Chain A
Amino acid sequence: MKITMTAMIAALAFMLMPFTAIQASPEDDFKAFKGYFTKKFKDTEVDDFINGVYSIDSPSRKQWDEIEEFPPYELAIETGEELWNKPFANGKGFKDCFSGELSAIRGKYPYYDAKADTIVTLEGDLNKCRTDNSEKAYKWKKGKIAALSAYVAYAGRDNPIAIKMPSSEKELAWYNKGKTFFYAKRGQLNMACADCHIYNSGNLIRSEKLSPALGHPTHFPVYRSKWGELGTLHRRYGGCNKNVRAKPFKAQSDEYKALEYFQVIMSSGLKWNGPGSRK
């Protein structure tokens, strides 16, 4: 009897070992992440997760489809185009900072910059273009930066998210920073992003249906009726942090850049469809 018990314990320990010894790779995480949502929302086509809560909420879908016919972000795209084409004081413009087709720009971000050991975002490079040309950086969360981002996102619609999976130690460090942030409880109310957007996605918090995290970043910047204007992904992050009474981080802080990096990796293969409109 004693021998069987010992053997059983040894067998158990052996069975558990692979999970503790080997850390999950981003590829494995992604597979599990996507698998979780496709299983949870069987009626939703995978490609439709880019539509956020409307991908799982047919009653509000119809209303939203109607809104998207005369999208409230149209004006912002026009403003973005004007800004894109307007030369800086030194005669240069955004076109000189971004090489290649306009439609290929959105899909390049976010990416890991080895030289600076940081994550580069679209908004980050838009403002860098300005400061490199002796112009003042725009404010990060709304207004002109969001309009420019919307213009670039619109041109880049329908390209798949083809972000390079982290492999170097430093890339993995950024990835894990974002992942940890996503699963960590925070704020006085002690809730993690995952509490609402994984475990309770599809459930109602008050009368609000919680969106699945799969596809979260695809359609930003977003026109929110609640804001009455466009906002960037990092503006939304700040809002969700405040909702749990946590101190929000600054837009383009390392925390939010890592979070964006993690979220985009988790949405690999889905299509970019910014800008979007939401309640």
Chain B
Amino acid sequence: MQKLFRKLSVTISAVTMIGIIGFSAVVIAAGSDIKEGKKLAFDRKKGNCLACHMISGGDMAGNIAPPLVAMKARFPDIAVLRAQIADARITNPDSIMPPFEAHGVLTSGEITKVTAYIHTL
């Protein structure tokens, strides 16, 4: 019984360790993604999201589109958010928002980074 318990606790701590390491790895990757995503979102030649959306920390934002706030509440599923940013026509065929991925304004990798950043807002 004692032995079994020890074995179990070892397994558990091993699992926990792996869990923690795995988790922090994800956080680190996402951390740099978020930073780059913000740069891409603010860059006038790239996302230029500020042309239309208010974003906290961004200057001279336009008011054509809804402010990008409380994104986790509005987009619990990040995949839905990504789809909106990749091609806004899925929700509004006449949208003035550029179809970023479909028209090659941003690459697929860049969309992923922008999405990671926007989801933190």
Binding site for B on A (CB under 8 A): 188-191, 195-196, 199-200, 203-208
Contacts and interface: CB of A to CB of B under 8 A. Distances in A.
B62 interface: yes
B104 A206 contact: no
Contacts of B52: 205
Given A199-B96, A203-B64, A188 B104 contact: yes
B28 interface: no
B66 to A, nearest CB: 12
B29 interface: no
Interface string B54-90: 0000001111100000000000000000000000000
B111 interface: no
Contact of B98 (A189, A200, A206): A189
Given A189-B103, A206-B51, A200 B96 contact: yes
The 3 closest A-B pairs by CB, nearest first: A195-B96, A207-B60, A189-B98
Contacts of B50: 206
B105 A188 contact: yes
A113 to B, nearest CB: 35
Contact of A204 (B64, B96, B104): B64
Majority SS at the chain B contact face: loop
Nearest to B61: A206
Contacts of B51: 205-206
Contacts of B62: 203-208
Q: Name the residue in A188, A190, A191, A204 with the highest tally of chain B Cβ atoms < 10 Å from its Cβ.
A: A190
Contacts of A207: 60, 62
Nearest to B87: A190
B64 A190 contact: no
Contacts of B104: 188
A136 B60 CA distance: 46
A28 to B, nearest CB: 21
Nearest to B98: A189
Given A191-B98, A200-B96, A206 B60 contact: yes
A203 B98 contact: no
B65 to A, nearest CB: 9
Most buried by B among A199, A200, A205: A205
Contacts of B61: 204, 206
Given A188-B98, A188-B104, A190-B103, A200 B64 contact: yes
Contacts of B99: 190
A200 B103 CA distance: 22
Contacts of A195: 96
Contacts of A190: 98-99, 103
B119 to A, nearest CB: 24
A212 to B, nearest CB: 15
A196 B51 CA distance: 12
Contacts of A203: 62-64
Nearest to B89: A190
A242 to B, nearest CB: 13
- Residue among A189, A195, A199 having the largest count of chain B Cβ atoms under 10 Å: A189
Contacts of B105: 188-189
Nearest to A199: B96
Contacts of A208: 62
In the complex, which of the residues A196, A203, A208 has the most CB atoms of chain B within 10 Å of its own CB atom?
A203
B105 to A, nearest CB: 6
Contacts of B98: 188-191
B80 to A, nearest CB: 21
Contacts of B63: 203-204
Nearest to A192: B96
Contacts of B96: 191, 195-196, 199-200
Contact of B103 (A188, A196, A199, A206): A188
